[in-house]
Amino acid sequence: MNMPAMHTAMRTSIEHALGALSLVVVAAVACTEPRTPQRVATPTPALEARLELSDSLPRAGSEITVRVRLRGDAADHIASFTQRLSYDSTGLRYVEDVAIADGATRVSNPTAGLIRSAGLRADGFVGGVLVEYKFIVLDPSAVRRLRLAVDELHELSHADASKSVQIADKPVMRVP
């Protein structure tokens, strides 16, 4: 092989090697994915519906109130609702709806083990309090079996807010 041919072959080999090395460097720089997985924050629901108890450890024979409250940024903007409260009628005896002086119109249909309620307030339910019930406790463990279902929620703008509500797992102690 003569010198000019060898020089050309060597230059071509070096150019190929540099080209391949350039691709490796570009690929390495371009791959900037994080080495540790990113944590995705769980979005908080726009609304939470929960049961608030006047006494979380009542005695048999005592009276308790159970309040249905909405929590969240949109709580004060809810203008109407329908909801159901299921309870163990062998452990709790429904007495009455508690009057709330906030200008809202409410109606309930109590039957053994189930209370259906609806309400509306043109300016929204201030503080998120939808309805409150009074019970006589027959079996204290029955308070843990209370279950809430929200069927309809509408905002002041008439928008359906029922899709954005999450029901709390357990009743909580009401803070006065």
Q: Which residues pair with residue 99 across a beta bridge?
A: none
Phi/psi for 95 (5° steps) reads -105, -55
Outline where the chain has alpha helix (H).
Answer: 3-30
pTM of the model: 0.73
CATH topology for 47-173 is Immunoglobulin-like (2.60.40)
Contacts for 36-39: CB closer than 8 Å, 24+ residues apart = none
Give, for all 176 residues of the chain, the pLDDT tens digit: 565 555 555 555 555 544 544 544 444 445 555 555 555 544 445 799 999 999 989 999 999 999 999 999 899 999 999 999 999 999 999 999 999 999 999 999 999 999 999 999 999 998 999 999 999 999 999 999 999 999 999 999 999 999 999 999 888 887 55
Phi/psi for 56 (5° steps) reads -85, -15
Query: Where along the chain do its domains lie?
Result: 1-33, 47-173
Of 33, 40, 170, 146, nearest to 94 (Cα)? Answer: 146
Give rounded-to-5 percent helix, strand, coil for the chain. Answer: 25, 40, 35
Residue written as token pair 């899709």: 163
Cα(98)–Cα(85) distance, rounded to whole angstroms?
15
